[in-house]
Copies of this chain bind each other. A is one copy, B any other.
């Protein structure tokens, strides 16, 4: 009558119930062969009868080789990150790993906390999309010698594998598109310049403006992380003396905030003002006009992250690899030639 006080039956309970040894039971239940059909059946029956559930953490502990990998992401609200999470989860599952997701909520303190938690779960590897001020957090991981792949909000100076979108290029292309439409007063809305990728997006915009000789019109606006903050900042821009003829929103959430501001300022897309969104999202397809946007290659990025992780998992060490993928400019309806009024005013 072992373990009558415990709620969950253990492997030993199953073994005794089946009249075999723990070793045999273990072999059967963990899928290994080398057990007679008769006994195997007895074990399965006993397990089912007792409602046995294998204790995965004990197994991992014993084996010394964890079966899950951690994924820390900064914002569940951001479709882009969620898409990556889905891609990663699929890849991980295919390769027999479980993905443990943790949510930093754009808060460095919480990020650190979450990283520690995931680490304490003895994951085989860590994939992180960091938030602002992630420096300490990363040290934490690197000290553990846990395979690490960083994504999106990093650059190639980072001392580990990284996978990113070519933010600079995409942003520069987007700006070129706007310029080609005749826009000069183009404002770039960015959540914060504390984030590497946001900074690169801003830099890409600046580079394109310079290239076109529009130095005088460069306007980078730091809007904040939340839609509410962005809303307010954008409204300021729109109500300022000379209004831009085009807005380039540096991300998913920024676009949302900007749209609210445009609405409140009672302006119409694209006649009164053009809007280009860095990041595409499902809801953009139902706007009138359909938003022009820059689509990051989510699947490609997810796949690349996983490939890098797999190599690490297989023990391949070596110089950090820095992968960067081209984004796609989707010209739709929210970007149009500069209205004549604006041209005349200039």
Q: Chain A residues in contact with chain B, CB under 8 A?
A: 7-8, 51, 53-58, 60-61, 76-77, 79, 82, 85-86, 89, 93, 98, 100-103, 105, 113, 116-117, 119-122, 143-145, 227, 256, 259-260, 263, 281-283, 285-288
Q: Which among B8, B98, B145, B281 is the interface contact of A8 at CB below 8 angstroms?
A: B145
Main secondary structure on A side of the interface with B = helix
Q: Which among B76, B117, B227, B282 is the interface contact of A256 at CB below 8 angstroms?
A: B282
CB–CB A263/B283 < 8 A: no
CB–CB B286/A121 < 8 A: no
Closest 6 CB pairs of A and B: A56-B120, A283-B283, A259-B286, A57-B57, A51-B143, A7-B145
CB–CB A286/B285 < 8 A: no
Q: Which B residues are in CB contact (< 8 Å) with A8?
A: 144-145
How many angstroms from the CA of A227 to the CA of B8 in the assembled complex? 42
Residue of B nearest to A89 (CB): B103
Q: Which B residues are in CB contact (< 8 Å) with A89?
A: 103, 105
CB–CB A260/B283 < 8 A: no
Residue of B nearest to A105 (CB): B86
How many angstroms from the CA of A103 to the CA of B227 in the assembled complex? 26
Q: Which of A54, A56, A85, A263 has the most chain B CB atoms inside 10 A of its CB?
A: A56
How many angstroms from the CA of A77 to the CA of B76 in the assembled complex? 10
Report the minimum CB–CB distance from A14 to chain B (whole Å). Answer: 14
How many angstroms from the CA of A213 to the CA of B285 in the assembled complex? 37
Report the minimum CB–CB distance from A236 to chain B (whole Å). Answer: 18
Q: Which B residues are in CB contact (< 8 Å) with A120?
A: 53-57
